[in-house]
């Protein structure tokens, strides 16, 4: 007599593997979302930190008053701007502390941020003088994500001498 052996999975074994896999995915996906969200807030805080530093260094390099301001929803001016819309770094040629398209020199524009990020306070232009000291906008700027967990709120502290500090604190 010839005996034949069948190899492979039967239907019950396949169903068990699919069930266990779906359980693992259900448990793992929310954790990945939190990690992604918290990494987004960290990278945004680092971007804003670099932008504040660049603004200060640009003021020293040019020997002029230089500012950074959050853009408004039309992305054309800084009036009623929000950091989430992006920002302009500009040479404040007329020294009025406000970005004027007609008179000021635009250094760079940063594109809009992800809508999952919260940055505040808004409506605040930060202006440095030619020595790198702050003329306007000192204080704390907070960066976090909508789904913030753990210690993933970032505070950018701009002192009157123009120095920028970055600290981390717990989510609300």
Whole-model pTM over 0.85: no
| Mean of all residue pLDDT scores within the chain | 88
Kindly report which listed range (31-35, 41-45, 55-59, 62-66) carries the lowest average pLDDT score: 31-35
- 57: how many CB neighbours lie within 10 A of its CB? 14
**What would the mean pLDDT of 38-63 be, rounded to a whole number?**
94
Contacts of 105-109 spanning 24+ positions with Cβ under 8 A? 107/58, 107/66, 108/54, 109/71
- CA 38 vs. chain centroid, Å, equals 10
Q: Which residue has the tokens 């020293």?
A: 60
pLDDT of residue 4: 66
Whether pLDDT at 8 is above 80:
no
CB neighbour class for 162 (10 Å; exposed up to 12, middle 13-18, buried from 19): buried
pLDDT band, very low/low/confident/very high, at 142 (cuts 50, 70, 90): very high
Q: Which of 70, 37, 31, 34 is nearest to 144 (CA)?
A: 37
Which tens digit of pLDDT belongs to each residue from 64-84? 999 999 998 887 788 888 999
- CA 63 vs. chain centroid, Å, equals 29
Higher pLDDT, 61 or 148: 61
């Amino acid at each position: 007599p010839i005996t034949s052996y069948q190899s492979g999975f039967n239907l019950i074994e396949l169903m068990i593997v699919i069930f266990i896999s779906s359980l693992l995915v259900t448990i793992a996906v929310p954790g990945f979302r939190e990690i992604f969200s918290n990494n987004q807030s960290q990278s945004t805080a680092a971007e804003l930190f670099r932008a504040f530093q660049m603004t200060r260094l640009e003021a020293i390099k040019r020997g002029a008053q230089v500012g950074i301001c959050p853009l408004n929803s039309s992305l054309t001016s800084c009036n009623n701007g929000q950091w989430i819309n992006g920002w302009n770094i500009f040479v404040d040629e007329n020294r009025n502390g406000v970005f004027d398209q007609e008179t000021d020199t635009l250094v760079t524009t940063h594109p809009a941020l992800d809508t999952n990020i919260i940055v505040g306070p808004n409506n605040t232009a930060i202006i440095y003088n030619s020595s790198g000291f702050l003329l306007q906008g000192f204080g704390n700027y907070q960066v976090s994500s909508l789904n913030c967990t753990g210690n993933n709120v970032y505070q950018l502290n701009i002192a009157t001498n123009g120095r920028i500090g970055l600290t981390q604190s717990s989510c609300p």
